[in-house]
């Protein structure tokens, strides 16, 4: 059992940011600077080629911490951020860039590579959640959510499918080939984002992955635009989704 | 040119409710009780078999008036609320009840009957908007939105397609057979609600109607559940949609 070691701490604009490690895995925990009581925890998975403190992660964390008083944790995925790339990582990334340059479909490579990363990352997430729940301000019985788009979905779907501690999740923008079977074991409330004019993920594939979730309550948000044009207001919507399920009023104007 | 005649007025919980007529058409205008300055106007279309003050209309109006300080107007559709039914209304309603009792599809009847009502209602909406814009607290150049689901979409899509004064709209839950052609002339931002397990509107039909809008910015919200199970939080989402487009902060916690 790995424990959580804090390696640095800073505060600004009402948010405390603490870097940590759990075993070899580096992560970041954002929390309300003023919060003393326990609060729900949102685990966030970053996108492919990004890292735990990418502006998309920090921006969503700000909304969740300032808006709802939640704790938010992100860890670097294998081969990402502060973690070394393996020869297999290098090979798949080279293959992805080659396909992109040649105008070939990215899907088969992303699906295969992300499935590999998910196999490594799921036990890392489980150990991270174990360690986070031993912190007094989080605790073992508080609500936990998961929020990850793109590669954050490729890792998050198998993680959530086998993790009864996650009570609500926001996913989106991935292919159904590997994930649909895992999604069919997920029954918690979900919000799912897709891009209506995604040049990489066919529309029918996005709809099929949403359809696969067994959740009684699930909401699809499909926006016009290409793969990288997911609107910023979907982050506001995700905050409202977690606030609704975890019983927190949104106190900031969003 | 019909003018707007107020016929009664009451206030409660910070909202002024004024009944009005424009020609023969009865309507209701909900406004902030305290508001002196101009504010955006949201026109709302009610569902089939309902009326201008149905709880769904009053509830959405409360969110829009209290949350954003907007004005909200609803008029009774032809044959609905305080308006007389024609022999053709009676005939179509009887046919709908017969089909429902026999377990036959409702779609063809609803599509045909709603298209008939829309032909009557579109000029009524235009005259109502003309008259509302002559009120000093609304004015001729302020933002105007439209919000109508079900029959409110069957009337709203042709209304908005020919009405350049509408700047943003929330639609949903109708068939594409009549409306898709009209939707293809609509370019303003829209939010569109559908039910993923709608027993009346086939999934592909709901998706086809969303797809038909020519809007650069459009968002589909598809929720699990049957036709009548559209979640209440979609009304909150519609309020945020109008607040975003009309530049108003949401001041109530929703």
With contact defined as beta carbons under 8 Å apart, do A41 and A132 qualify? yes
Residue A33 structure tokens: 């600077």
Residue A66 is inside which H or E element, if any? helix A55-68
Residue A113 structure tokens: 């590579």
For B133, residues 6+ apart whose C-beta sits below 8 A from its C-beta are B41, B139, B140, B142, B144, B165
Using CA atoms, how far apart are residues A43 and A24, in angstroms rounded to an integer? 18
Q: Is the dihedral of CA A81, A84, A89, A95 positive or negative?
A: positive
Q: How many CB atoms lie within 10 A of CB A199?
A: 11
Task: Please state the rounded mean pLDDT for residues A172-200.
Answer: 98
- Burial label for B253, CB within 10 Å (0-12, 13-18, 19+), is exposed
A-B CB pairs within 8 A amount to 60
Using CA atoms, how far apart are residues A108 and A92, in angstroms rounded to an integer? 11
Residue A45 structure tokens: 């998975």
For A101, residues 6+ apart whose C-beta sits below 8 A from its C-beta are none
Give the per-residue pLDDT at A204: 98
Question: Dihedral of the CA atoms B181, B182, B184, B187 (nearest 10)?
Answer: 180
Residue A67 structure tokens: 């808006």
The tens digit of pLDDT for each residue in A59-97 reads 999 999 999 999 999 999 999 999 999 999 999 999 999
Domain boundaries, chain B: 4-245
Q: What value does the CA radius of gyration of chain A take, rounded to a whole number of Å?
A: 17
* Nearest C-alpha in A relative to B251: A253
The three-state secondary structure class of A185 is coil
* Nearest C-alpha in A relative to B195: A219
CA-based nearest distance A81→chain B, Å = 32
The tens digit of pLDDT for each residue in B180-199 reads 999 999 999 999 999 999 99
CA-based nearest distance A206→chain B, Å = 13
Residue A251, pLDDT > 50, answer yes
Question: Comparing C-alpha atoms, which of A235, A237, A240, A245 is closest to residue A167?
Answer: A245
- Residues of chain B with Cβ-Cβ distance to A253 below 8 Å are 249-251
The tens digit of pLDDT for each residue in A36-56 reads 678 999 999 999 999 999 999
DSSP state of A37: S
Mutate to test the interface with A, among B190, B224, B234 (most CBs of A within 10 A): B224
What single string gives the DSSP state of each residue in B25-68?
Answer: EEEEEEEESS--S---EEEEEPPTT--TT-HHHHHHHHHHHHHH
Residue A153, pLDDT > 50, answer yes
For B224, which of A216, A224, A240 is closest by C-beta distance?
A216
Q: Is the dihedral of CA A37, A38, A42, A43 positive or negative?
A: positive
For A231, residues 6+ apart whose C-beta sits below 8 A from its C-beta are A223, A225, B217, B219
Using CA atoms, how far apart are residues A57 and A64, in angstroms rounded to an integer? 11
The model's pTM: 0.94
What single string gives the DSSP state of each residue in B90-122?
Answer: HHHHHHHHHHHHHT--SHHHHHHHHHHHHHHHH
Mean residue pLDDT of chain B comes to 95
Task: Please state the rounded mean pLDDT for residues A128-144.
Answer: 95
Domain topology for B4-245 = Rossmann fold (3.40.50)
- Residues of chain A with Cβ-Cβ distance to B249 below 8 Å are 253
CB contact under 8 A, A231 and B250: no
Using CA atoms, how far apart are residues A157 and B122, in angstroms rounded to an integer? 47
Percent of chain B residues past pLDDT 70, beyond the cut? 97
- Phi, psi of A191, rounded to the nearest 5 degrees: -115, 135
CB contact under 8 A, B216 and A224: yes
CB contact under 8 A, A222 and B223: no
Who has greater pLDDT, B1 or B152?
A: B152
Give the per-residue pLDDT at B37: 76
Residue B29, pLDDT > 90, answer yes
Residue B253, pLDDT > 50, answer no
Pairing type for strands B25-32 and B41-45 reads unpaired
CB contact under 8 A, B221 and A218: no
* pLDDT tier at B251, thresholds 50, 70, 90: low
Residue A234 structure tokens: 């979907």
- As beta bridge partners, residue B5 has B21
């Amino acid at each position: 059992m790995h424990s959580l070691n804090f390696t640095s701490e800073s505060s600004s604009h009402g948010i405390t940011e603490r870097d940590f490690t759990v075993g070899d895995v580096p992560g970041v925990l954002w929390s309300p600077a003023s919060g003393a009581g326990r609060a729900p925890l949102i685990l966030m998975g970053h996108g492919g080629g990004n890292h735990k403190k990418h502006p998309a992660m920090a921006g969503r964390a700000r909304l969740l911490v300032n808006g709802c008083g939640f704790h938010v944790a992100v860890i670097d995925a294998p081969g990402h951020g502060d973690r070394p790339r393996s020869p297999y990582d290098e090979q798949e990334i080279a293959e992805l860039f080659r396909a992109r340059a040649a105008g070939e479909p990215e899907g088969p490579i992303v699906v295969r590579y992300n499935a590999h990363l998910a196999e490594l990352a799921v036990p890392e997430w489980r150990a991270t959640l174990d360690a986070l729940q031993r912190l007094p301000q989080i605790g073992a019985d508080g609500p936990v959510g998961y929020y990850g788009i793109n590669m954050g979905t490729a890792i998050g779907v198998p993680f959530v499918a086998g993790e009864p501690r996650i009570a609500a999740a926001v996913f989106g923008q991935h292919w159904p080939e590997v994930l649909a079977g895992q999604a069919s074991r997920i029954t918690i409330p979900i919000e799912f984002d897709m891009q209506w004019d995604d040049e990489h993920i066919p529309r029918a594939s996005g709809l099929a992955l949403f359809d696969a979730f067994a959740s009684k309550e699930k909401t699809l948000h499909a926006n016009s635009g290409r793969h990288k044009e997911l609107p910023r207001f979907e982050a506001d919507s995700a905050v409202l989704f977690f606030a609704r399920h975890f019983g927190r009023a949104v106190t900031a104007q969003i």
